[in-house]
Structure 1
């Protein structure tokens, strides 16, 4: 089988969710079937995130005006199957089997496009998500559709977005343990540090986390991600209006490295989020795999990702958030939650996801 894996979504500055999914799944697929896979790239710097010695093909950018005729260009290389981690690759006129990916439906509910896209693509992205028919056309242009969770699969089927079979090829946590000293024990402690990793878009509802600090003495809320000056000013006003408990602190980090992220999670921490909506929740999976419990809003997708490894609260209730943090303040409660999280998240690995993709590709290739 000749499998072409579309790796053009790998970012060369810093990973976003699609970029990390592409790189991690691509590496896992190569580990299982190196002789069968060829990576599509548009920038040689993307090779830094792919296995050494991997087969690759320099192709036009996924943001190029040529993307609608991508299949016509790929035909001459005679792939058996092309897998794309998004659904926007052109499939018209293809002479191979195609698998495209729709990660979630969150952009139909929150239509703000990814900030790394150029203006024309941002406008097109917003228009694309005003109605379902462009999505149906894109998905039905393939032979199979992949998604990252059972929740997303149910939503895709519920909205009748495709006539093609939908397969779950899950996200999986990254190995943050490899970034820590061997003797680190993240499961110990009482949850002195509360760690939030994610964007600051309004639906992420960081305000609830901030207001909950009124009831959490002696704890520090670490807001790790990059943030725009405008949004920082908005949230700093919320901080000013919130009478913090004794010894409580709120720290805006403005972006951290993976090593700094892992170190903060390992330092007597809980992973926290009050999101009102979510497509997956990769930081939760990463924390659980490190042995760090989570305190998260009560969303269906978070139950799929975290299982019994998290404590859940009503997303708009700072009181409930604080109560669930306090429920994990003893070493015994924390260690029990940590063990449950490790057991649950162990079913999600990049190797297992890669095996699912290869089985689907081989089935399509016949």
Structure 2
């Protein structure tokens, strides 16, 4: 990210007036699907349009994606930047259409189009700070649903939840599925199969992530079953003590933690299957990214998983450890089933690309600009 270009605040890449501004506060996030989505959409819109600029707080300059024209705005970086300094800049520079790609929008600005992935702060307030919950509620109510504002979400399941939560017509909310083609495809032949089956999953904190499900499934199996679980991503610190309390031998769980995109792609590529046990999601990038690498997917039976995975995955009740353990054994013991699920995975993932998502966003922006 070393060759991003600062541009005039009033003209775009080719000297044309800036008609579209992107809220760049998302660049301050450390990791996660929201950051992935916002970055991918921003990079592609910047290549597709010459009337666009990314507005960033001072602390995000070194994170601007390569090739994206940007302008540094204000002096702060948190809610004050987003709710005060950003809208003031917009009003001083002709009130361009503001694109908010990361769940939060200024309360007091009308010309904007925003994405809201889910209603997690309403469903699980314990997972969010009080300040964030207040900002989120005000942002959706006053920054996304008033006249002159447009709201986008990433799934039909989320559209229904947002509409019910805020009492609006679901048809006011556009659905744009996300992409799954960020991770690099490994080259060469796959490594030789391991003697033990390895089920890869994420170890994120938060009750809705249901990360303990894979541990509970292991506990249902005999201690000598040749089945291991590998946790990737930022790990909930309570997982390891929980596994020990469940009597899981240390060698049966691999605690990988944070990994690079290349390492994550490799984990998906060699996995016996990817396990996605969430109780609730707005979309769910990891199972689709795993599918693109050919991993069979075992997913919790919730509406969003059915929407994006269809018949390409095997499902289990999210809180039924015995059902997941049974799938561990079935997939481990049946090479033909693994091959068929891998084939279905690749076919399904082909339908989710970031360029397709960016094309939809570009069309929505053009419609708003008239």
- Could you say whether these structures have the same fold, taking a TM-score greater than 0.5 normalized by the shorter chain as the test? yes
Alignment counterpart, residue 348 of structure 2, candidates 337, 344, 347: 344
Is the partner of 2:106 in helix, strand or coil?
coil
1-side partners of 2:313 and 2:354: how far apart? 22
Offset of residue 43 of structure 1: 3.8
2-side partners of 1:4 and 1:276: how far apart? 35
- Asked if 1:335 is matched to 2:339, the reply is yes
2-side partners of 1:15 and 1:49: how far apart? 15
TM normalised by structure 1 equals 0.84
Q: Which has the higher contact order (CA 8 A, sep 6+)?
A: 1
Q: Per the alignment, do residues 191 and 295 of structure 1 end up closer, same or farther by CA in structure 2, a change over 3 Å counting?
A: farther
Aligned to 2:319: 316
Aligned to 2:9: none
1-side partners of 2:51 and 2:62: how far apart? 17
Offset of residue 319 of structure 1: 1.2
Q: Per the alignment, do residues 269 and 133 of structure 1 end up closer, same or farther by CA in structure 2, a change over 3 Å counting?
A: same
> What do residues 116-155 of structure 1 show as CA deviations (whole Å, max 9, x unaligned)?
xxxxxx32223456xx676322322452101111111121
Give 5+ residue unaligned stretches, structure 1: 115-121
2-side partners of 1:248 and 1:317: how far apart? 24
Q: Work out whether residues 152 and 279 of structure 1, in 8 Å CA contact, stay in contact via their aligned partners in 2.
A: yes
Is the partner of 1:159 in helix, strand or coil?
helix
Alignment counterpart, residue 108 of structure 1, candidates 122, 140, 153: 122
Offset of residue 249 of structure 1: 0.4
Of 70-79 and 146-155, the range deviating more from structure 2 = 70-79
Q: Work out whether residues 4 and 79 of structure 1, in 8 Å CA contact, stay in contact via their aligned partners in 2.
A: no
Q: Work out whether residues 218 and 248 of structure 1, in 8 Å CA contact, stay in contact via their aligned partners in 2.
A: no
Offset of residue 184 of structure 1: 3.8
> What do residues 266-299 of structure 1 show as CA deviations (whole Å, max 9, x unaligned)?
2243111322222222111110111111111111
Is the partner of 1:176 in helix, strand or coil?
coil
Alignment of structure 1 residues 1-366 onto 2, 5 Å: 2-11=19-28, 14-33=30-49, 35-43=50-58, 45-46=60-61, 48-52=63-67, 54-60=68-74, 61=76, 63-69=78-84, 70-78=86-94, 80-92=96-108, 94=110, 97-113=111-127, 122-127=129-134, 135-141=140-146, 142-162=148-168, 165-178=172-185, 180=186, 182-185=187-190, 192-214=197-219, 215=221, 217-227=225-235, 229=237, 231-232=238-239, 235-242=240-247, 249-329=252-332, 330-366=334-370
The number of residues matched between the two structures is 345
2-side partners of 1:154 and 1:284: how far apart? 22
1-side partners of 2:311 and 2:347: how far apart? 9
Offset of residue 188 of structure 1: 7.7
Q: Per the alignment, do residues 93 and 304 of structure 1 end up closer, same or farther by CA in structure 2, a change over 3 Å counting?
A: closer
Q: Per the alignment, do residues 11 and 134 of structure 1 end up closer, same or farther by CA in structure 2, a change over 3 Å counting?
A: closer
Give 5+ residue unaligned stretches, structure 2: 1-17
Of 148-157 and 215-224, the range deviating more from structure 2 = 215-224
Offset of residue 162 of structure 1: 4.4
> What do residues 182-223 of structure 1 show as CA deviations (whole Å, max 9, x unaligned)?
124489889811111251223322222112113271121011
1-side partners of 2:58 and 2:256: how far apart? 30
2-side partners of 1:342 and 1:287: how far apart? 9
Is the partner of 1:89 in helix, strand or coil?
coil
Q: Work out whether residues 226 and 255 of structure 1, in 8 Å CA contact, stay in contact via their aligned partners in 2.
A: yes
Q: Work out whether residues 210 and 277 of structure 2, in 8 Å CA contact, stay in contact via their aligned partners in 1.
A: yes
